[in-house]
Structure 1
Amino acid sequence: METLIRSVLTLQNGTLEAGDVLLMGDRIHTVAPANTIPTAPHQRIIDGTDRLLLPGFVNGHTHSSQVWQRGLIPQLPLELWLANVFDSTPQQLDQFYWGAVSTAVDTLLSGGTCLIDHAYVIPGQEMETVDALVRGYKAVGIRAVIAPLIQDLPFASGFPKGCLLPQSASPRSAAELLAMMEAIISEFHDPDNGIYIGVGPTGFHRCSDDLLAGCGELSDRRDLCYHTHLLETRAQQHLAQERYGISAVQHLHNLGCLTPRTSLAHGVWISEDDIALLASVGSTLVHNPVSNLRLGSGLAPILKAVRAGLNVAIGCDGAASNDAQNMLEAIKLSTILHNVTDSDYEHWLTPEQAVQIATIGGARAVNLGDRTGTLAPGMDADLVLYNLDHPSLLPRTNPLQLLVLGRPTDVVDAAWVQGRQLVDQGQLLTVDTATLHHNLRHQPVSRQESQAQHHPVEAHYRAVMLPSVSSLQ
């Protein structure tokens, strides 16, 4: 099938230009000046007047099952918030299916065509959980990298001086988890149909060196994304020094975990030396500004990372720490949040740079930089068409700036993934959103879960991380 989008606004080399874009099959065939590609009877013609065509964004870090915890957990530091997340994580397979559908739909309708799901999997039902996620993402049609969250150290190990806390039984061993990942990859890794399995150790704070290095070897051998949390909080920075005596980034590098396939979520507390090392090996820092603010984690050094040549992507993070999955919101915050960190305004991100980070940077983060993220002939047709005539994008000033810095709502007019149209005239073509909303509406969180706020680890956290405050109480 051929689709010709005529006289549409595109971003070419950082400049908005009107052009014609011809899609053939799953690829972008031609990009040319406006009204220069001849039409043919067999083509579908789309009038691009008052429209903006961009490559799809990549939601570079999320946890789809947290859709069910949206609006549930109060504002707490990550370590205390996470205790409540574990206590209220869904345990029904159909919740994981609808969590994937919901995450995909919200990502797609805010301009995303691909995501990384750092996915919680039900213990003892890991294969069934991944199957539910795969079915959900295939139903919507979005590209998805599913990286199951795995760890082989107990919850208490994620705290500085965690040895002082009661120790729960350790989860599976590193060898058992790596064998499980081999089985998941063999069963579900399906790049031709837009489903990719990645390796997803939760982070150095709850993973042994054997597991971290084993995931690196598996990523190398199978050419898979390696996705993990990194130095999200000051507590994790303290823990790295306590455990290794060196930077967590340097330790991961020593283990062979840092490659161009590696994407690291958060990195709020990385140093300039860490940035230089990550840039030198070609890894990606995934910025999650909404959750970093909600959890009080801090401001990631994004401007320094960009200036150092470190690849940066943008993620929403899970809905338990974001309460939404809106890529345009995450991109806006990524663009303006860091202006307060550098008084030299020439270093601030522009809307054009922000879009490149969310598209090209995101594509590199998922090991697909040669396939998607760019509006160019030969690239996969992962594209989003925005309606510039929507009231939230008026008046007609700078449409890209208004898309990034404004508050656009319901502006996705059409979207394609691998040439397949998933959205037309703002309506999803693949799944019934009314059915999705019915399922979200009729599987409420229990009253007991909704009242969860604090946790037995709170006293330890306050003693270790807030000693001056704790001593006064």
Structure 2
Amino acid sequence: MDFTIENALIATQDDYTTLSVGVSDGKISTISPQVESVGTSMPADNKLLLPGFINAHTHSSEMWQRGIMSMFPLELWLAELYDFAPLDIEKVYLSALGTAVETLLSGGTSVVDHLVLIPGKELETIATAVRAYQEVGIRAFIAPLIQDESLTAGIPSGDTKQSHEAYFRSTQATLDILEEAVKLFHNPDIGMSILVAPTGIQLCTDALFTGCAELSDKYNLCRHSHLLETKAQEKLAQEKYGCTAVEHLQRISYLDSRTSLAHCVHLTDGDIKILAETKSTVVHNPLSNLRLGSGIAPILKYRQAGVNVSFGCDGASSNDSQDLLEAIKIGSILHNVTDFDYQHWITPRQSVKMAALGGAIGLNMGELLGTLDVGKKADLVLYDLTSLSLLPRTDPIGLLVLGRPTNIVDSAWVNGKQVVANGKVTTIDVDNLRQELFKNSQWQTQRKSKTVAELEAHYRLVMGL
């Protein structure tokens, strides 16, 4: 549908102006003070128009465990997560719907889902997430989460001798599943992309990383992974490689301009230089890093070194939400305590650029998404500046980023298709989704994880606790 967003407030270099934006064939066709209406007219008085943000790293199926996970560091938290992970296709579907809806209603028009796969139903899991995202209409980048080493391999050995069970699926079988998923589902033209996404150096062999890089080159796919989220992973990299994880990933040619790396909390200055040189992207997940005690990623250093940075919510049981605006706020002001020089601090306008264009660049789509420019895809969000949480009137972007905005997304479009109108997602029945999420869950309190009980003593020993 062709349409014109009329009289929207749009940010200029240092101020704002009122403009109208025409959309034709899913792209921005005109931006002008007095544009002649194209197609349907959509009044946008007292509304702020921004490019859609990108939730550049999450795990949709974690939604089923939000609010209940123990206060553990990542390695033990994962053990508990996997002990209680729902191996249910219907729950994969519902949580993907929920992730998409929460992302849209907090300003995101794209989501990168590092999707946990049900063993034996890997392709069905991916197909289910694809179906959910297409129904909602969000732009989706599905990154099947793969590994080829068992969970215990993710904890450093220290001075002890450790043996690990073989992973239940071979490296080649995993790569075969991934290639089949690419053939079946990778279709960027309709807003559905598959990424290669080994979970991280802690649970993946070099063979898996290099196999993913080969698939990336063969099909022009983006690459994704967790990287140095915890001090334990920093120790483990030295044990496995005798160098930093970043140095090793560069050595095996995994890093390039199509590579986005979640977390990057524990990097050296040399690592940062490598990321800048390879044009790799860091996905900042501040809330999960705080929730799991992983640390504060040196985002100001990355920005000063020229590393592209974007924002992610991370999974809904390490955050425990999918509120992208919350992640952007915390991920911006958190760093004011890490550098006394306030001239390095992240401004609200810089935050918005990181959330939109930074995310697009990390997905090799900087020429297509992330700014309000003629010719770019119409992934757009209108914010209602008369909402109580954005009043009284001051700087609209300042209110959006630094405030605690609620119910402020008035409209959203993905590829020119409207998916939010008058503050409500229009493509699916959200009330029914809410009822299904309620019906398929139950109130819970403390749980005991068998795997945590087996791993905790060794973890505490090697981490000096």
TM-score interval, smaller chain: over 0.9
Q: Deviations over 1:79-99 (max 9, x none)?
A: 111101111111110100011
Map residues 421-436 of structure 1 onto 2, 5 A cutoff. 421-436=418-433
Say which of 119, 125, 132 aligns to 1:123: 119
Aligned residue type for 1:239: L
Q: Secondary structure at the match of 1:171?
A: coil
What do the CA deviations read for 1:146-196 (whole angstroms, capped 9, x no partner)? 111111111111011077456333232221111111111111112122110
| Superposition pairs of residues 174-193 of structure 1, within 5 angstroms | 174-193=171-190
2:75 matched to 1:73? no
Match of 2:101 in 1: 105
Q: Per the alignment, in what secondary structure is the counterpart of residue 42 of structure 2? A: strand
Write the distance in 2 (CA, Å) between the matches of 1:455 and 1:103. 31
CA displacement 1:52-83 (0-9 Å, x = unmatched) = 00000000000000011111202211111110
- Do 1:4 and 1:46's aligned partners in 2 also have CA atoms closer than 8 Å? yes
User: How big is the shift at 1:6?
Assistant: 1.8
Aligned pair 1:331/2:323, yes or no?
no
Partner of 2:364: 367
Q: C-alpha displacement at 1:11, in angstroms? A: 2.2
Measure how far apart 1:272 and its partner are: 1.4
Partner in structure 2 of residue 353 of structure 1:
350
Equivalent AA in structure 1 for residue 31 of structure 2: V
Cα–Cα, structure 1 residues 455 and 17, in superposed 2: closer, same or farther, change >3 Å? farther
Distance 2:36 2:223 in 1: 44
Match of 1:201 in 2: 198
Q: CA deviation at 1:461?
A: 0.8
CA RMSD in angstroms comes to 1.5
For the structure 1 residues 446 and 394, does the alpha-carbon distance in structure 2 shift closer, same or farther, using more than 3 Å as the test? closer
Question: Take 2:459 and 2:68, find their aligned partners in 1: how far apart are those partners?
Answer: 21
Q: Which amino acid aligns with 2:47?
A: R
Which SS does the other structure have where 1:376 is aligned? Answer: coil
Q: TM-score, normalised by structure 1?
A: 0.95
- The answer to whether residue 20 in structure 2 is matched with residue 20 in structure 1 is yes
Q: CA deviation at 1:18?
A: 2.0
* CA–CA separation in structure 1 for the residues paired with 2:386 and 2:416: 25
How far, CA to CA, are the matches of 2:12 and 2:266 in structure 1?
34
1:25 CA displacement = 2.1
Q: Distance in 2 between matches of 1:50 and 1:120?
A: 41
Q: Aligned partners of 1:168 and 1:431: how far apart in 2?
A: 43
Structure 1 residues 357-395: Cα deviation after superposition (integer angstroms, max 9, x where no partner): 000000111221121111100000000000000000000
3-state SS of paired residue (2:202): helix
- 2:240 is equivalent to residue 243 of structure 1: yes
1:404 to 394, 401, 419: 401
Whether the 8 Å contact between 1:88 and 1:449 is mirrored in structure 2 is no
Cα deviation code 1:302-326 (max 9, x no counterpart): 0000111100010000001011000
User: Does the 8 Å CA contact 1:56/1:359 hold for their aligned counterparts?
Assistant: yes
User: Do 1:73 and 1:452's aligned partners in 2 also have CA atoms closer than 8 Å?
Assistant: no
Change (3 A) 1:248 1:155: same
1:39 to 32, 37, 40: 37
Pairing partner for 2:219 from 219, 222, 241:
222
Matched residue type, 2:457: A
Q: Which amino acid aligns with 1:17?
A: T
Counterparts of 1:183 and 1:22 in 2: how far apart (Å)?
Answer: 39
Question: How far 1:14 sits from its partner (Å)?
Answer: 5.5
Q: CA deviation at 1:435?
A: 1.0
Aligned partners of 1:74 and 1:154: how far apart in 2? 21
Distance (whole Å) between structure 2 residues aligned to residue 446 and residue 398 of structure 1:
41
Q: Any conservation in 2 of the 1:84–1:455 contact (CA below 8 Å)?
A: no
Q: Do 2:117 and 2:144's aligned partners in 1 also have CA atoms closer than 8 Å? A: yes
Separation of aligned partners in 1, 2:153 and 2:331:
31
- Report the counterpart of residue 381 of structure 1 in structure 2: 378
Output the amino acid matched with 1:245.
G
Further displaced range: 437-446 or 200-209: 437-446
- Matches of 1:3 and 1:413 in 2, distance apart? 16
Cα distance in 1 for partners of 2:319, 2:161 equals: 31
Q: Percent identity?
A: 49
1:267·1:285 contact (CA, 8 Å) conserved in 2? yes
Task: Output the CA distance in 2 between the equivalents of 1:4 and 1:447.
Answer: 48
Letter in 2 for 1:97: Y
Give 3-state SS (helix, strand or coil) of 2:114's partner: strand
When structure 1 is superposed on structure 2, of 109-118 and 360-369 the one drifting more is 360-369
State how many pairs are aligned. Answer: 463
Q: CA–CA distance in 1 between the matches of 2:364 and 2:301?
A: 23
1:236-285 deviation digits (Å, cap 9, x = unpaired):
00111111111100100110100111000000001111111111111100
- Contact kept, 8 Å, 1:165 with 1:460, in 2: the verdict is no
Aligned partner of 2:461 in structure 1 is 463
Q: Quick one: distance in 1 between partners of 2:448 and 2:67?
A: 12
Q: Which residue of 2 aligns with 1:7?
A: 7
Partner of 1:252: 249
- Offset at residue 449 of structure 1 (A): 8.1
Q: Is the 8 A contact 1:73 1:81 kept in 2?
A: yes
The amino acid across from 2:116 in the alignment is Y
Rounded to whole Å, the distance in 1 between the matches of 2:447 and 2:316 is 15
Mapped partners of 1:449, 1:128: distance in 2 = 31
Moved over 6 A (4+): none
Q: Is the CA contact 1:83–1:455 (under 8 Å) kept in the aligned structure 2?
A: no
| Superimposed CA distance per residue, residues 94-137 of structure 1 (whole angstroms, 9 cap, x where no aligned partner) | 10001110000000000000011000000110011011100110
Q: CA offset at residue 50 of structure 1?
A: 0.9
Report the Cα offset of residue 451 of structure 1: 4.7
Q: CA deviation at 1:19?
A: 1.4
Distance 1:374 1:281 in 2: 23
Matched, 1:30 2:30: yes
Give deviations 1:29-65, integer Å, cap 9, x for gaps: 0112x3x11236xx32222221000000000000000
The letter for the 2-side match of 1:318 is G
